[in-house]
Chain A
Amino acid sequence: MTAIIEVEGLSKSYGGKRGIIDVSFKVEEGQLFGFLGPNGAGKTTTIRTLMALLHADSGQARIAGMDCWDRSVEIKRLVGYLPGELSLDPGLTGAQILEYFGHLRGGVDQAYLKQLVERFDLDTSRKFRQYSSGNKRKVGLIQAFMHQPRLLVLDEPTNGLDPLNQQEFARLVGEARDEGRTVFLSSHILTEVEQICTRVAIIREGRLVREGGLAELKDIKRHEVAITFADSPPADSFLHLEGVERVEGMPDGHTLRLTVQGGLDAVVKAAAMHPVVSLTSHEPSLDEVFLTYYENGGKGPVEVEQRV
């Protein structure tokens, strides 16, 4: 496989403020590449530099072997782009926006465009200002996909989409992969990247901290589990289980809150030894994950801790 995106030592600052620092990665043609990072990590700066909306201070960014800044027009023929914040003429209808961008792209397959509109169930007769944030996102997604580009660069594409449309988006990405096209998407939601992508890079405070296959996510993935017991909670039973990083007793005297890395099998089995009233589990945001995972100077997970 050949690399469609090559980024080498890319840095960008805004005056004295940090943007990205010495970022390097490659995306092979046909890959579904997830670009993960908490808010303000530098995902959008990287993407806007790839799209030649920002000029890098140093380093190189190439798409299909072409320099992103010097040959931006040729590159944009290959790319479908969805910005993180969509701002379009509020007086145009969805249909007019799609037609306008279709013309600017030199024409699109109308049958495919119609199909996209139907799949996202978009009412194209409404003005952009009248759309909800989810519908605005749909307009952005349709315009990114409508010319069937070789590379899709999508900045937090599912923001504001309801679960049904998120599934539709995932199907579209799957079809793009099947057709050999490349998808580069940013997200701060671990599960989304896990479900859609085949390769990930993680950026934090402007620096790339990891790049690799999906396995890279496994050791940073966390679950916050709250178990309420009928009797006083058996904290010691959980303390040394595989993957348990933190055990915390709640003030009600019946509930334990656990931070668990990886699968929950051991925790559930241990809990089943005692009368359980309720059990809830949620995935913390990437910000929270990074806070716990990298609070040790970015060198790995903190040690198991008990606060009962």
Chain B
Amino acid sequence: MFSSIYLKSLRDARLAILGWGLGMGLLMLTVLAVYPSLVTTPQAKASLVNLAGSFAWLAAPVRVDTAGGYATFKYGVTILLIAVWPILAGARMFRREEDRGSMDALLSLPRTRVRVGLEKLAAMWSALLGMGLLIAILTFAGGAAVNGGISAGQAVVFAFNIVLVCFLVGAIAMLISQFTETSGTAAGSTAAVMLVFVVLDMVHRIIPNTDWVSSLSPIYYYNLNKPLIPGQSVDAGALALLFGLSVVLSAAAIWLFTRRDIGAAVRAPAFLHLPQRPAAKPSRKTHWGAWSLRSVYTRSLATLASPTLWWTLAIAGFGGWMVIVVVQTEANLRALLNGSPTMQAFLRAGGSDASTNASILSALFLFLPVMLMAFAVTQANRWSADEEDGRLELVLSTPQPRLNVLLGRFAALATSTVLIAVVTLAVTAVTAAATGLKLDQGNLAAATLSMIPLGLLVAAIGYLLSGWLSAAIDTGLLSFLLVIWFFIRYIGPDLHLPEATQRLSAFYYYGTPLLHGLPTFDTFVVVAVGAAALALASARFVRKDIGR
């Protein structure tokens, strides 16, 4: 596996291929597994079609009364989730090695930069094809399990379409990374660009005759192909366009990579240069008086500021948005829900009382703790990576007890988590008040604030696992755990999983707080398990060898 840059890069992605491919495939399996319970009667089918129509802005509802149509509709909204890996892989393709200094060694080999770039690109594409294969297999398996009439060919084209849009996302990230100095900035910028593309794609589904606006987004071409839907022909032009754009943008990224300084961003054209300022004199300043440099806790808080801001915008924004969505579809939903027992079952994950606004919102709010837990996964990864990269070594050479260092970091993460939850509460409460949606304020507070123990539970488990495992394996396991928990919670009831099995999912303990208030005992269980995990993580950390 070390005989070429291609194989080495592919080896580095082996966990991601398995984790992301299985994760995305299981998501499809979940969606398909739910389908039969939604179409038990003709009325239920009709209700499903109507309900999907209410969410047309999110994804085009085409033949949602079929397994393939329903799966396409539900999976269509997950594009940003699917794009996470190619965004990270593309942004890090060159920048990560430059950050570490290993690019210098790589480029000292008798290989051209073009070849280095092409081998790394080929590895990313191979990894995505591997993930696509897993998605295709699980899609086919899911279709077969529910007699959904999904052929192997349809599953392959469906997965190939996903792979192609991921090629393009990776290419965009690669290109953007040529203009940034760190992989983190490149990844963040690409995520923002993707968000714009998703919104652009939504425009034509909300405002008639605006296809030309949406056609500016590559997501539009991704959505042109719906191979799982019976009778839909494959749009080869859209596939070719996605592939062509990927090739052009990847080529542009590699071209820029061959012309820029290693470790630096692409220089803007001369006419864009600002007037030269006199070179700054070397500074001998040693004291800034910054609050963030006073302790491990404050330093960690400052490091978390930027990710906390983005995750707060995403989570609180999603919460507020969902309130608006419920208001807009309220009238339609009321009619549908009251006339369809099956649709009430559809909302079972969110709660059993389908007669209130809170019922549909409760179902949607299930995604809030998922997002907060994903944030916790990223921060557990950071803790693990800091130790692995030796960034704790000097901190631990100061008279700071190891326990204080761990707890300082965890306390900063807890502060961020609380902040995200509180802002989410404020945004959803204000949005509900502004739109006239009546919600029980106590339950709303419970629904948003009870995410905190779940986020901290995931972080504590991540800290605990990092006592033995590398950052990559720790993060992979934690992400997999999150997917499995979600899987158990979401389709566990439909699969008639025993109560004991469902209790293994942390989401089980979240309950339906928007409907029934804070599940005090269950919340206590989460807090207790989280505290135990943190105690074990602390016990391990104060005794372990600090690694490199």
Contacts and interface: CB of A to CB of B under 8 A. Distances in A.
A124 B398 contact: no
A141 to B, nearest CB: 12
A83 B285 contact: no
Given A79-B397, A95-B287, A129-B99, A54 B545 contact: yes
Contacts of A125: 280, 282-283, 285
7 contacts: A48-B546, A53-B393, A89-B391, A96-B293, A99-B290, A103-B293, A103-B294
B303 A89 contact: yes
Given A74-B399, A83-B390, A103-B293, 6 more contacts: A52-B396, A87-B394, A96-B293, A104-B400, A118-B284, A140-B394
B267 interface: no
B397 A114 contact: no
A87 B285 contact: no
Nearest to A104: B398
Interface of A: 48, 51-55, 73-74, 76-77, 79, 81, 83, 85-90, 95-96, 98-101, 103-106, 110, 113-114, 117-118, 121-125, 129, 140, 143
A105 B390 contact: no
B136 to A, nearest CB: 40
A281 to B, nearest CB: 31
A121 B287 CA distance: 16
Nearest to B544: A55
A162 B284 CA distance: 20
A37 B282 CA distance: 37
A124 B283 contact: yes
Nearest to B401: A73
Nearest to B390: A87
- B-side interface mostly: loop
A73 B400 contact: yes
Contacts of A90: 99
B284 A114 contact: yes
Interface string B390-424: 11011111111100000000000000000000000
A56 to B, nearest CB: 10
A100 B389 CA distance: 19
Contacts of B398: 76, 101, 104-105
Contacts of A118: 284
A99 B287 contact: yes
A102 B294 CA distance: 9
Nearest to B285: A95
B496 interface: no
Contacts of A103: 293-295
Contacts of B299: 100
Given A53-B546, A87-B390, A99 B397 contact: no
Interface in B270-317: 280, 282-288, 290, 293-296, 299, 303
Nearest to B283: A125
B545 A81 contact: no
Nearest to B405: A104
Contacts, number: 97
A114 B285 CA distance: 8
Q: How large is the interface on B (under 10, 10 to 19, 20 to 34, 35 or more residues)?
A: 20 to 34
A51 B280 CA distance: 39
Nearest to A100: B293
A101 B287 contact: no
A55 B545 contact: yes
B260 interface: no
Contact of A87 (B288, B294, B391): B391
Interface in B350-400: 389-391, 393-400
A106 B293 CA distance: 12
A105 to B, nearest CB: 5
Given A73-B400, A81-B394, A101-B394, A123 B286 contact: no
Given A125-B282, A125-B283, A143 B543 contact: no
B548 interface: yes
A79 B293 CA distance: 21
Contacts of B543: 55
A105 B39 CA distance: 66
Contact of B288 (A79, A95, A113, A129): A95
Contacts of B99: 90, 129
Nearest to A114: B286
Among B303, B395, B396, B398, residue most surrounded by chain A Cβ atoms (within 10 Å): B398
- The 8 tightest CB contacts between A and B, nearest first, are A125-B283, A123-B282, A87-B390, A81-B397, A104-B398, A100-B293, A53-B546, A76-B399
Best-buried of A85, A103, A114 by chain B (most CB within 10 Å): A103
B67 to A, nearest CB: 49
A156 B286 CA distance: 25
B127 to A, nearest CB: 27
Contacts of A113: 286
Contacts of B389: 87
B295 A104 contact: yes
A140 B394 CA distance: 9
A106 B399 contact: yes
A6 to B, nearest CB: 20
Given A86-B394, A88-B391, A96 B545 contact: no
A129 B391 CA distance: 13
A48 B545 CA distance: 9
A85 B397 contact: no
B198 to A, nearest CB: 30
B277 to A, nearest CB: 14
A101 B544 CA distance: 23
A224 B273 CA distance: 54
A77 B400 CA distance: 9
Contact of A96 (B284, B288, B391): B288
A117 B284 CA distance: 6
Interface in B152-182: none
Contacts of A105: 398-399
Contact of B399 (A73, A100, A121, A122): A73
B403 to A, nearest CB: 10
Nearest to B400: A104
Nearest to A90: B99
B430 to A, nearest CB: 34
Interface in B291-350: 293-296, 299, 303
B10 to A, nearest CB: 27
Contacts of B546: 48, 53-54
